[in-house]
Amino acid sequence: MAAKGYAWWQSGVIYQVYPRSFQDSNADGVGDLLGILARLDHLVALGVDAVWISPITASPMADFGYDVADYTGIDPAFGTLANFDRLVAAAHVRGLRVILDYVPNHSSDRHPWFLESRASRSSARRDWYIWRDPAPDGGPPNNWLSEFGGPAWTLDQATGQYWYHAYLPEQPDLNWRNPQVQDAMLEVLRFWLDRGVDGFRVDAIHHLFEDEGLRDNPPNPDWRPGLSPARRVIRAYTMDQAEVHEAIAAMRRVADAYPGERVLIGEAYLPIDRLMAYYGAGLTGFHLPFNFHLLSTPWDARAIAALVERYEAALPQGAWPNWVLGNHDRSRLASRLGPAQARVAAMLLLTLRGTPTIYQGEEIGMTDVPIPPDRVQDPWERRVPGLGVGRDPVRTPMQWDAGAGAGFTGAVEPWLPLPRDWRSVNVAAQEGDASSVLTLYRALLRLRRAEPALSVGAYASVAVDAPDVLAYERRDEATGRRLRIALNLGDGQRVLPGFALGARILLSSYLDDRSSSIQGAIALRPAEGVVVELPVKA
Ligand code: NOJ
């Protein structure tokens, strides 16, 4: 529910569903739309406001849906358009918004547009993709590298030219400098908006344009063996090019033409100063350019406090913040930080100022699942094995209960393996456990919903004289109500003299009763986070 004067995507919380792994309804080992529908009540009970679904459109699955062969058709693995319409209706009945993934940078190499483009140099759609002659030695036109390893150019023997792909060769980049491409891709947005979707998460937006002059990317002096081979160069000419902002503004104009606060969220891994430009001049760009900086900041109180300050200070006038702590591309919290700090991280994510996005499975503290070599699915891991870039470990099936297939599937084997601990770590087990991670997420989301100070209030850092402790205040401007949050990012007890005298603890990440008011100094237990309510000033 939106706080007064705020859009739903400002006060609300987004939950990411990775559809292959959420719920399988037809026992083929792969999740699907009817599966998501069957689990909507989990999201209602959790207390989120919107579900963002990773790609469900027709795809050969070279990159599991991020290679789209039909932008307006549902992949049969996930179901049908009729299933989709039912899902949207069922979500809306429950007050949940639906956000789709939109992949504008590249299509699949099986998309009819690419097939036509590839067919001949004189094809009417040749210019819909990025074709260039070989270098004089016959090699690729320049030194650009694919994110997933190898050159970013693949030679089409038949026509003697290379096509450009920021990711896999099976993901040719669309040429957004061609107005017909722009029109066709904006039409895709309208198709789904007409069907009632509430917005889009826009994939890989920082890759939308490349330097027209094809200048070589400079070498990266910080690259060393063990890092992704794509990082051997600095992507000066393949990322974050100025023209992207006009393309985003065009997407925004389409969304704005629809009633009902449709949201555009941009995926761009960029430094804070560059990221801010993605709000667009006069806020005509993304409503929320994803802020991934917590993913790369050390789990250290001072570093995080400095990050929040820097991010808050950099926001353009009127721009709304957002925070991300996990997704289908990044290691899970409980694996990155350990189970105790994963609880602290949940409190951080859900008490900072700005729209949080929760990745499926984080609410039960799922961990990265080791994938045996013969079960590897991720094309990145296959092309660049052994460096730890593979994303399968964070894409394993949702653990619903202790029954066969973890309640995810009736198939003998799900598409990715379950972890060893799924019989104890699952939604059903945690629902009945007053101190579980799931109970903590629900309590945090309930509190956030009940307290405008948390969902839309102002943010101010609070200095505390205790190592490892991150503290800040959230204030509801309308009522003056003030909440303080203190998070112990260390594993020792931490005493905070004078932090919140006379205050009452509303919630501890330990979920035990600490409701009596604080008389002396508050002592945080190892890896404890608290939300406290400051007394109203007389
Ligand atoms: C970012 C997506 O999150 C990732 O999963 C995908 O592989 C790339 N974009 C390419 O679309």
Specify the residue with its C-alpha closest to ligand 1, atom 10.
Answer: 66
Cα 203 to ligand 1 centroid, rounded to whole Å: 7
Return the pLDDT at 2: 58
Among 64, 146, 203, which residue has the most ligand 1 atoms within 8 Å of its CB, making it the best to mutate? 203
DSSP β-bridge partners for residue 488: 469
End-to-end Cα, the chain, rounded Å: 31
How far is C-alpha 368 from the chain's CA centre?
16
Question: Does the pTM exceed 0.95?
Answer: yes
Return the pLDDT at 502: 83
Given a cut of 50, the residues of the chain with pLDDT beneath it are 1, 538
Closest CA to 320 of 265, 254, 250: 265
How deeply is 150 buried, as exposed, middle or buried, from its count of CB atoms within 10 A (0-12, 13-18, 19+)? middle
Distance CA 113, CA 125 (A): 7
Given the residues 67, 173, 203, 362, select the one marked as catalytic.
203
Spell out the residues 6+ positions from residue 102 whose beta carbon is closer than 8 angstroms to its own.
188, 189, 192, 200, 201, 202, 203
Axis crossing angle, helix 179-194 with helix 244-256, rounded to the nearest 10: 30
Q: Is 329 in the pocket of ligand 1 (CB under 6 A)?
A: yes
* Strand arrangement, sheet containing 131-132: 131-132, 161-164, 153-156
Cα 421 to ligand 1 centroid, rounded to whole Å: 28
Under a CB-based contact definition with an 8 Å cutoff, are residues 162 and 151 in contact?
no
Closest CA to 517 of 489, 538, 536: 536
Return the pLDDT at 264: 99
Closest ligand 1 atom, CA of 103? 11
Cα 425 to ligand 1 centroid, rounded to whole Å: 28
User: Is residue 243 flagged as an active site residue?
Assistant: no
